[in-house]
Amino acid sequence: MTTAVTTLPRLNTGTWTIDPVHSTVSFSVRHLMVSKVRGEFTEFSGQLDVAEDGTPAVTAHIAVASVTTKNKQRDEHLATADFFDSANNPTATFASTGLRADGDDLYLDGNFTLRGVTKPVSLAVEFNGVNPGMGQGEVAGFEASTTINRKDFNVNFDAPLENGGAVVGDKVTITLDIEAVKQ
């Protein structure tokens, strides 16, 4: 049963800023029908604003040209119009629209924009808790993931394989490991 949730447990009111040094934004996608290519974005920012009533609002920005898959040639190709088109669409964004529970599972719903296309997505969220931090303020930890179809966002590059299938799969799993600091 899905129920609306308005608050995150044990998270204090105010603004929490993503700490990029202790966070990662990564993805994986099927390659040659038999394995997965994994990559990360090295430049991103975001914040979680918790209202007085405990309602969270999340915004995030990813510089798509900061992609790294540990292969320079592939990374350069990902920046082109075949994939991210970073010259014309330098930033992917997420803006939350609500938080909900499905049994013990927590989901953050929102709008994801990539290549100028905005679609609703749901991130499965694991709240790892809060720690007093190491002198910089309280720290909260989250893990979140979602799977999108890249073609829904006009990432339509296709290179068919001789025996069927494609070089790049359509489903892309996005994974976030986030540490946020209370401001």
Sign (positive or negative) of CA dihedral 140, 143, 148, 150: positive
Q: What is the pLDDT of residues 65-95, one digit of tens each?
A: 999 999 999 999 999 999 999 999 999 999 9
* Direct distance between the N- and C-terminal alpha carbons of the chain, in angstroms, rounded to an integer: 35
Q: What is the pLDDT of residues 4-49, one digit of tens each?
A: 555 556 788 999 999 999 999 999 999 888 889 999 999 999 999 9
Q: What is the per-residue pLDDT for 167?
A: 85
pTM of the predicted model, to two decimals?
0.91
Rounded mean pLDDT, 159-178: 89
Rounded mean pLDDT, 103-126: 96
> Whole-angstrom Cα distance, residue 132 to residue 83?
41
Gyration radius of the chain's alpha carbons: 17
Q: What is the pLDDT of residues 48-60, one digit of tens each?
A: 999 988 889 999 9
Q: What whole-number percentage of the chain has pLDDT above 70?
A: 95
Q: Which domains does the chain have, with CATH numbers?
A: 2-182 (2.40.128.110)
Closest C-alpha among 138, 171, 175 to residue 155:
171
> Whole-angstrom Cα distance, residue 23 to residue 171?
23
